[in-house]
Chain A
Amino acid sequence: MSKELIRLRDLCMAYDDELVLDHLNLYINDKEFLTLLGPSGCGKTTTLRIIGGFTTPGSGDVLFDGVRINDVPPYKRQINTVFQKYALFPHLNVFENVAFGLRMQRKPDPANPRRKVKLPEEEIRERVLEMLEAVSLKGFENRRTDALSGGQQQRVAIARALVNRPKVLLLDEPLGALDLKLRKDMQIELKRIQQQVGITFIYVTHDQEEALTMSDTIVVMDKGSIQQIGTPEDIYNEPKNAFVADFIGESNIIDGIMVRDQLVQLYGRQFPCLDSGFAPSEPVDVVIRPEDIDIVPVEQGQLTGTVTNVTFKGMQYDIIVDFRGFKWLIQTTDHSPVGARIGIKIDPDGIHVMKKSRYSGLYGDYSSFSDEYDELDAVEPEEGGDEA
Chain B
Amino acid sequence: MKPKLSRFAIPYVIWMALFVVAPIVLVVVYAFSNDLGGFTLENFARMGTYAVVFGRSFKLALVATFICLLIGYPVSYLMSKEGEGFQRAAMVLIMLPMWINFLLRTYSWMSILENNGLLNQVFQKIGLISLYNQLFGTDLTYFPMMNTQGAVVLGMVYNYLPFMILPIYSVIMKLDGSLVEAARDLGANGASVFRRVILPLSLPGVLSGITMVFVPSVSTFAISKMLGGGTELLLGDLIEQQFLGGAYNPQLGAAISLVMMVIVVVCMVVMNRFGEGEEQAVML
Contact = CB atoms under 8 A, between A and B. Distances in A.
Interface residues of A, number: 28
B197 A164 contact: no
A101 B179 contact: no
A305 B176 CA distance: 56
Contact of A89 (B192, B197, B277): B197
B181 A90 contact: no
A54 B183 CA distance: 12
Interface string A30-50: 000000000000000000000
Interface stretch (A72-80, A210-218, A275-283): A72-80
Interface string A100-125: 11011100000000000000000000
A174 to B, nearest CB: 13
Which size bracket describes the interface of B in this complex?
Answer: 20 to 34
Residue of A85, A101, A164 with highest tally of chain B CB at under 10 A: A101
A164 B176 contact: no
B186 interface: yes
B201 A83 contact: no
B185 A80 contact: yes
Contacts of A385: 178
B182 interface: yes
A180 interface: no
Contacts of A160: 182, 186
A81 interface: yes
B187 A89 contact: no
B177 A388 contact: yes
B184 A75 contact: yes
B187 A101 contact: yes
Contacts of A73: 184, 189
Given A81-B182, A83-B178, A87-B176, A104 B278 contact: no
A100 B183 contact: yes
Contacts of A239: none
Contact of B279 (A54, A80, A90, A103): A90
A181 interface: no
B258 interface: no
B180 to A, nearest CB: 9
B59 interface: no
B188 A75 contact: yes
A83 to B, nearest CB: 5
Contacts of B279: 90
A224 interface: no
A51 to B, nearest CB: 11
A91 B183 CA distance: 13
Interface in B191-211: 192, 196-197, 200-201
A105 B183 CA distance: 12
Given A90-B201, A104-B192, A81 B179 contact: no
A87 B179 contact: yes
A84 B182 CA distance: 11
A52 interface: yes
A73 B189 CA distance: 9
Nearest to A81: B185
A228 B192 CA distance: 41
Nearest to B279: A90
Contacts of A103: 196
Contact of B189 (A75, A80, A83): A75
Given A100-B183, A101-B186, 16 more contacts: A74-B184, A74-B185, A75-B186, A81-B185, A83-B182, A84-B178, A87-B182, A89-B179, A89-B182, A89-B197, A90-B279, A91-B200, A100-B186, A105-B187, A160-B182, A164-B186
17 contacts: A54-B184, A73-B184, A74-B185, A75-B185, A75-B187, A84-B178, A89-B179, A89-B197, A91-B201, A100-B196, A104-B188, A105-B187, A144-B277, A160-B182, A160-B186, A164-B187, A385-B178
Interface of B: 176-179, 181-189, 192, 196-197, 200-201, 277-279
Give 10 closest A-B pairs by Cβ, nearest first: A104-B187, A101-B186, A87-B178, A87-B182, A74-B184, A91-B200, A81-B185, A75-B187, A75-B184, A100-B186
